[in-house]
Structure 1
Amino acid sequence: MKNHRSMFAGLALASLFASVSLANAAPSDYEFQLVKGEIQKADAAVIAVKLIDKRSGNPVDHAVIFSTRVDMQPDGMEMMTTPAKAMPTTEPGVYSFQTNLSSEGNWRFSVAAKVQGEDGTIENKLVFKVVQ
């Protein structure tokens, strides 16, 4: 019986340390990734990004996206911007945005978010190509 109590106490302590380390994740432990690196030119194009926890590789749901920007900075036209409207998604950790991608070329999607229960802001600038 004493052996079982020691084992239970050890497991409880290990789970406590695991939960403390997860709660102290840094913004650099998370990353947005493009779902597709090439997107068709369209008035109602969709940019989809996946937020992952780099420590586990798992998708992260329920992040609060509070800033987005779509521009042509990679082709030297940073002032050419278009708004991005958040869309519902059914895939875990995937966040989709509808936008007007009116020109072929290289575009940049900048996104900033907060993960619930974590300090700091996750920010990524992702470059994708718009094709005919």
Structure 2
Amino acid sequence: MFASNFGRATALALALASVSFATAARADIKDYEFQLVEPQLKTGEAIVALRVVHKPTGKPVPDAVIFSKRLDMAPDNMAGMTAPLEPLPATEPGVYRFRTDLTMAGRWQLSVAAKLQGEDGTLQSRLIVKALP
């Protein structure tokens, strides 16, 4: 009887240890960030590219699911001036590209939100793209 209970207790302890180890191995959503590939673009048709990076390692994060995006001129007090963002196929892991039309020179704010594979929470950011004439 003692051996049977000891075996169950050992199995339970191992199971709990593996669960807590798996939880501890996860990163915090604050360990990730969006970065613009090019912070300055020419007005007109343009490709806005950003990468998702794991800050402690500097490595790109592939397979993020970007579910919210907006490009507007809020930094220049014209939040109503928006531009379309059309997703484009990835050309390298961790880089997410969008076709747009920057109709006016100035500062454009890219608001973006994504879910990362295996992580809880939502990665959100507001990045400034400068459109040059």
> TM-score, structure 1 length as denominator?
0.81
User: For residue 22 of structure 1, what is the aligned residue in structure 2?
Assistant: 25
CA displacement at 1:21 relative to structure 2: 3.2
Whole-angstrom distance in 2 between the partners of 1:67 and 1:127? 16
Query: Does 1:41 find its partner at 2:43?
Result: yes
2:71 aligned counterpart, secondary structure: strand
Aligned to 2:113: 112
Task: Show the 5 A alignment for 1:37-116.
Answer: 37-42=39-44, 44-116=45-117
Q: Deviations over 1:74-108 (max 9, x none)?
A: 10101111121110122111000011100000110
Structure 1 gaps, min length 5: 1-12
Note the alpha carbon deviations across 1:21-73, whole angstroms, 9 max, x for none: 332x222111000001101111x311000100012110000000000000001
Letter in structure 1 aligned against 2:31: D
User: Following the alignment from structure 2 to structure 1, what is the Cα–Cα distance between the partners of residues 24 and 84?
Assistant: 37
Give the Cα–Cα distance (whole angstroms) in 2 for the partners of residues 41 and 114 of structure 1: 30
Work out the CA distance in 2 between the residues paired with 1:128 and 1:90. Answer: 20
Q: Which runs of 5+ in 2 are unaligned?
A: 1-16
Percent identity, please.
47
Give RMSD over aligned pairs: 1.6
Aligned with 1:79: secondary structure? strand
Distance apart, 1:124 and its partner CA: 0.5
- Give the number of equivalent residue pairs: 115
CA shift for structure 1 position 114: 0.2
